[in-house]
Amino acid sequence: MAGIEIRSLRKHFGDLHAVDGVDLSIRDGEFLVLLGSSGSGKTTLLRMIAGLERPTSGEIHIGDQRVDGDVPPRARGIAMVFQSYALYPHRTVFQNIAFPLEASRTPRKQIEEKVRWAAEMFSITRYLDRYPRQLSGGERQRVALCRALVRDPKVFLLDEPLANLDAKLRNTARDDLKRFQRQIQTTTVYVTHDQVEAMGLGDRIVVMEHGKVRQVGTPQEVYEDPVDTFVATFVGQPPMNLLDAGDPSLPPHTLTGFRPEHFLPKGVFGSGEDLRAFRFAVRRVEYLGSDRYVYGSVAGSGAPDATIIAKLPATIALVIPEGETHDFAVPRRALRYFDATTGLRRTA
Amino acid sequence: MTLPPRRTFADREEVLGAVMLGPALAYVILLVGVPFVFAILLSFSNATAGSLSFGWAGLGNYVAILGDPIFLRALRNSVVVTVGSQVLVVILATAAAQVFRATFRGKRFARFVLLLPWAVPVSLAAIAWTWIFDSTFSVINWTLKATGLLHGWLYWLGDPVLALLAIIIVQAWRIFPFATVIVLAGLSSIPQEIVEAAIVDGAGFWRRLFRVELPLLLPVVAVAVLFGVVYTATDLGVVYILTGGGPANTTHGTCYPLWRSSAASWAPT
């Protein structure tokens, strides 16, 4: 077991700075999620930790070993799960899981034991004699995890391992994954573009954009206290509302941000709550079962046409007619302020 | 009121299918099927190329040819040359494909040069090779001599074993560029993630090659070998120009004596 230290890590592909100066400290036993859209550099960062990509500059330490130079992947004590699972199609499930053990010249008897132990852990023992093509997506994913597990790695590297599963399966797979990681307590770096996965799995989340780290924090910190407008709108679905509220008490060029679930009809708040009120011109109401999304715009703001979204839980049964203006409000404690030019958080 | 559009010829799949398959079917039956059956029938007859009178000969032709030591030797040679050259081809093509998978300066040019042997007419190439194997001017001998690896002298085309080896070398040289292209295509069809998974799993170059890449390449290599076998086993030109079947009828492939006897049977008697 080991933590990972990353110092001013860069990877340039010609003019493209895929990873552009990343400093990161991953604690021993931590489940760290790298979250970003495609092209944010999260996968390149993971591949550099794995040793599949050579850094342009910077340092990577796994445990007390510095690995960024010529240390090959097999000497780094890592195991990796790929998005496509990358199972060997010509080998049975047993042979797939045994492959890394064969490569490290483990005695045959020990291989047998370890494969069975891992297969038991993911309840795939009955598939050991099958070929990958005979398995479903979820089963393949578990085989890939087994293959990673048998190596006793110091670090698990997972590259969007749930992306190829259908939505129904993804929930259970996420739960399985988290329980499994808690059980073995191995440092895990997990790459995803799916913020639900990131929030649900990560002890901490690293939000990346254009090769740079925007914010590192617990899911709660990243969601409730985003450091800039990028994180505020990238994390959360629907994203945080941002508007130039034209509030004279604020310094100029200040954006006011609030989460859609805090933007509710004024009547639902208690009288003791310190509120910021808005006149909300409702354009359309979307019924989603457990929630209603209300789309509209806020009068008197800097950009009166910008779409603002309110997310009303099903517990609020109030009728909201479309095409009318309503009194909505946000509790002041839920307001976040950002600099309109730099996008950075302001205390205001 | 407009009438629904009439069902045209192209809408009737059963007719269209038959019409489209027709030419191919006719080709296969007339130019492959009939001659094949005819050839087998003729092998039991005493017909010659000059007269197609069909007299039943039973297994006579087979007995005659299997009793002919030159033919038996030729059959053995065909097998030796085909197997030997294809083993060489598979090794060379796999190695060359590994080289051409890497990116390096001048790769396009190198690949063009690699493909040349395949594109050169067999007859011209074989003539060049006769000089390479020439008893006096052999570049191979002079090079080996100069580097001190050879003390005697190799009479490539004068020694039955060396002559056969020479044919194997030329056949392998001729086929392997094509095989390389096929293997290269096969390599690029292996998902990058599988190769990377093997790297992360701790497999070194040889383990990756023999445990992951070659097994996945097997179907593709089989195609390359199939082509190679057909090209080599049915080849006439290389043997004819390089050795003419010599020395003393020891290097014939099956095609050469068959061709010669059929040519001879055309001769007016």
- Cα separation, B247 vs B249, in Å, equals 6
Nearest CA in chain A to B207: A103
- Name the DSSP letter for residue A20: E
The overall average pLDDT reported for chain A is 91
Q: What is the pLDDT of residue A1?
A: 63
Query: What residues of A are in contact with residue B207 (Cβ under 8 Å)?
Result: 102-103
3-class DSSP state for residue A146?
helix
Query: Which residues of B lie closer than 8 Å to A, measured between beta carbons?
Result: 191, 193-194, 196-204, 207, 211-212, 215-216
- Cα separation, A189 vs A31, in Å, equals 6
Q: Is the peptide bond before B247 cis (omega within 30 degrees of 0)?
A: yes
Examine residue B199 and state whether it is found in any structural domain, yes or no.
yes
Q: Which domain holds residue B213?
A: 70-266
CATH classification number, A238-346, choose in 3.40.50.2300, 2.40.50.140, 1.20.120.80, 3.30.460.10: 2.40.50.140
Q: How many CB atoms are located within 10 Å of the residue A3 CB?
A: 18
Domain A4-233: homologous superfamily in CATH: P-loop containing nucleotide triphosphate hydrolases (3.40.50.300)
Q: What is the pLDDT of residue A317?
A: 86
Are the Cβ atoms of A86 and B207 closer than 8 angstroms? Answer: no
Handedness of CA A150, A156, A162, A164 (dihedral sign): negative
CB pairs under 8 A between A and B: 59
Question: Which has the closest alpha carbon to A223: A244, A192, A202, A243?
Answer: A202
Given the DSSP bridges, would you call strands A187-192 and A155-159 parallel, antiparallel or unpaired?
A: parallel
Interface test mutation site (partner B, options A62, A74, A152, A155, max chain B beta carbons within 10 A): A74
Beta bridge mates, A298: A280
Q: How many CB atoms are located within 10 Å of the residue A156 CB?
A: 24
List the domain boundaries for chain A.
Answer: 4-233, 238-346
Q: At residue B41, what is the residue type?
A: L
- Cα separation, A167 vs B24, in Å, equals 48
What DSSP string describes A161-191? Answer: TTTTS-HHHHHHHHHHHHHHHHHH--EEEEE
CA distances from B230 to A25, A246, B123, B147 (A): 61, 83, 18, 37
Are the Cβ atoms of B193 and A84 closer than 8 angstroms? Answer: yes
Burial class (CB in 10 A: 0-12, 13-18, 19+), A237: exposed
Q: Is A104's Cβ below 8 Å from some Cβ in B?
A: yes
Q: What is the pLDDT of residue B269?
A: 40
Q: What is the pLDDT of residue A303?
A: 67
Q: What is the pLDDT of residue A192?
A: 95
A308-313: strand order across its sheet: A264-265, A325-331, A275-287, A291-298, A308-313
ipTM (interface predicted TM): 0.84
Q: What is the pLDDT of residue B268?
A: 46
Q: What is the pLDDT of residues A266-292, one digit of tens each?
A: 989 988 889 999 999 999 999 999 999
The phi, psi pair for B201, rounded to 5°, reads -70, -5
Interface test mutation site (partner A, options B201, B205, B217, B220, max chain A beta carbons within 10 A): B201
Q: What is the pLDDT of residues B129-161, one digit of tens each?
A: 888 888 777 788 888 888 877 777 778 887 888
Beta bridge mates, A24: A6
Q: What is the pLDDT of residue B124?
A: 87
Q: What is the average per-residue pLDDT within A88-107?
A: 94
Q: What is the pLDDT of residues A226-258, one digit of tens each?
A: 999 999 999 998 999 998 877 778 888 888 999
3-class DSSP state for residue A130?
coil
Domain count, chain B: 1
List chain B residues with pLDDT less than 70: 1, 49-52, 262-269
Q: What is the pLDDT of residues A48-65, one digit of tens each?
A: 999 999 999 999 999 989
Examine residue B106 and state whether it is found in any structural domain, yes or no.
yes
Radius of gyration for the alpha carbons in chain B, expressed in angstroms and rounded: 26
CA distances from A198 to A168, A191, A204, A236 (A): 17, 8, 9, 11
- Cα separation, A167 vs A162, in Å, equals 9
Q: What is the pLDDT of residues A129-144, one digit of tens each?
A: 999 999 998 899 999 9
In chain B, how long is the greatest CA-to-CA distance?
98
Radius of gyration for the alpha carbons in chain A, expressed in angstroms and rounded: 24
Q: What is the pLDDT of residue A79?
A: 93
Examine residue B165 and state whether it is found in any structural domain, yes or no.
yes
Burial class (CB in 10 A: 0-12, 13-18, 19+), A7: middle
Which residue among B191, B202, B215 places its CB closest to the CB of A74?
A: B202
Residues 6+ apart with CB under 8 A from A44: A11, A18, A19, A53, A211
Q: Is the peptide bond before A238 cis (omega within 30 degrees of 0)?
A: yes
What CATH number does the domain containing B100 carry? Answer: 1.10.3720.10
Interface test mutation site (partner B, options A47, A87, A90, max chain B beta carbons within 10 A): A90
- Cα separation, B9 vs B32, in Å, equals 30
Beta-strand (E) ranges in A122-252? Answer: 155-159, 187-192, 204-209, 212-217, 241-243
Question: Which has the closest alpha carbon to B221: B174, B178, B191?
Answer: B178
Q: What is the pLDDT of residue A214?
A: 95
SS3 letters across chain B? CCCCCCCCHHHCHHHHHHHHHHHHHHHHHHHHHHHHHHHHHHCCECCCCCCCCCCECCCHHHHHHHCCHHHHHHHHHHHHHHHHHHHHHHHHHHHHHHHHHCCCCCHHHHHHHHHHHHHCCHHHHHHHHHHHCCCCCCHHHHHHHHCCCCCCCCCCCCCHHHHHHHHHHHHHHHHHHHHHHHHHHHHHCCCHHHHHHHHHCCCCHHHHHHHHHHHHHHHHHHHHHHHHHHHHHCCCHHHHHHCCCCCCCCCCCCHHHHHHHHHHHHCCC
Q: What is the pLDDT of residues A177-230, one digit of tens each?
A: 898 899 889 999 999 999 999 999 999 999 999 999 999 999 999 999 999 999
In chain A, how long is the greatest CA-to-CA distance?
76
Are the Cβ atoms of B202 and A52 closer than 8 angstroms? Answer: no
3-class DSSP state for residue A4?
strand
Question: Which has the closest alpha carbon to A191: A27, A24, A46?
Answer: A46
Long-range contacts of the stretch A111-115 (C-beta < 8 A, 24+):
A114/A150, A115/A146, A115/A150
The pTM (predicted TM-score) of the whole model is 0.80
Q: What is the average per-residue pLDDT within A257-267?
A: 93
CA B95 to chain A, closest CA, distance in angstroms equals 22
